[in-house]
Copies of this chain bind each other. A is one copy, B any other.
Amino acid sequence: MSGRPFLQIPGPTNVPDRVLRAMDRPVIDHRSPEFGAMVKALLPDVAKVFKSETGKVVLYPSSGTGAWEASLVNTLAPGDRVLSFNNGHFSTLFAEAARNLGIEVDEVPLRWGQGVPAELVEEKLRADQGGSAAYKAVLVVHNETSTGVTSNVVAVRQALDTTGHDALLIVDTVSSLASMDFRMDEWRVDVTLTGSQKGLMLPPGMALLCVGPKAIAASQSGGSRRSFWDWNRIIADNATGFFPYTPATLLLFGLREAVTMLLEEGLDDVFERHERLAVDAWGLKNLCENPAEVSNSLTAVVTPDGIDSGDVMKIAREQYDLALGVGLGRVRGKIFRIGHLGALNELEVLGTLGGVEMALAQAGVKIELGAGVAAAQRSFVAGRQAVATPVAATSR
């Protein structure tokens, strides 16, 4: 198909040309001084993206699922008990990964579309009997990529504080970091984990963690049997700019460029941009139940009864080169997801909304073509006019 494809799945996101070009270069020796200096300058800048000064950034050539595993095997041993909340496909899989590794998971069922209720966290923590069966960690998915729901990590932290529970707080920020506000240190998160292919604007292939002092302490005195994932060896080697394995050199060059771009734009401006672009454009049903929990990085749209969301996606893909996210797990066929995270601007949103409208109409959904686009335009114009400087009388 002609023209540029619209990849609007909730990750991988569009990799900016600057990042692609930064990776399109000769590999260098990963044991050279040049490489070491690059890494030593890079890691503290990555930590800024996590808003952490006390945590250590740990990088693995891996995927987001690898980031789960790294967070678990370094801090928890088989038989340890953790608290988790099932409100979507990825929180389900995170708990499943823990169980696969021998960890006991107390998995609280929620509706898919619901955020993690802080009062429920508090209730579960209060009910904890302590001892060897005490929760060693609370697992939270900040932004559930399968439902477009953002949970309130601050409230979860408060629940831990209120109850005086000392479980580790392990947060999956795969589809939130670098698109939505997240503050590792301020919120006292112990392990933050993410992947390269979302807000960080890189291709998939890297797992990133930021690990706080309490989690490091836990890993030094315990954790599971581990080799590849052992972050202590990595942190030790990283101190001189090197790695205990051959790092994904070109992805690191890409990460360098992507982090530079984020810091150039300014993290808070990045978050404001995603808030601005996450317009509520339709009368269609959002899978997210609570308006306060609607994600700024993706939207899960519920298709009307009788309309298979897969048909909408198929039309979008085949006729308009627009990739949308499939409904995963139990909402397969019932929803589709629009990603609006990472590198993105207003006109791309308009093209995406326009394409979604056309696909919906062609799939048989009663919808007024252009209504969603116009709503977005009004929102964008209002935002611009609120901060407008007068246009000069004449341009060149």
Q: Which residues of A contact B (CB under 8 A)?
A: 1-7, 9, 11-17, 20-21, 23-33, 60-66, 68-69, 78, 96-97, 100-102, 195, 197, 203-206, 225-228, 230, 244-251, 265, 270, 273, 308, 310-311, 313-315, 317, 319-323, 326, 333, 343-348, 350-352, 354-355, 357-358, 361-363, 368-371, 373-378, 380-381, 384-385, 388, 391-396
Contact = CB atoms under 8 A, between A and B. Distances in A.
29 contacts: A2-B343, A3-B345, A4-B26, A9-B29, A14-B26, A14-B27, A21-B25, A65-B227, A65-B228, A68-B227, A78-B225, A101-B225, A101-B226, A101-B227, A204-B246, A205-B251, A314-B391, A315-B391, A320-B347, A321-B345, A346-B358, A350-B354, A351-B354, A354-B373, A358-B377, A358-B381, A362-B384, A370-B370, A370-B374
A341 B312 CA distance: 28
A238 B228 CA distance: 24
Contacts of A225: 78, 100-102
Contacts of A65: 227-228, 244-246
A371 B370 contact: yes
B2 A26 contact: no
A26 B323 CA distance: 12
Given A28-B323, A204-B61, A320-B347, A357 B384 contact: no
A222 to B, nearest CB: 15
B61 A345 contact: no
B29 A25 contact: no
Q: State the 3 A-B residue pairs at the shortest beta-carbon distance, nearest first.
A: A370-B374, A3-B345, A310-B395
Given A5-B26, A6-B347, A205 B248 contact: yes
Contacts of A374: 368-371, 373-374
B323 A29 contact: yes
Nearest to A389: B318
B369 A347 contact: no
A54 B36 CA distance: 42
B391 A311 contact: yes
A72 B24 CA distance: 34
A182 to B, nearest CB: 18
Nearest to A70: B228
A96 B228 CA distance: 11
Given A61-B62, A100-B225, A247 B204 contact: yes
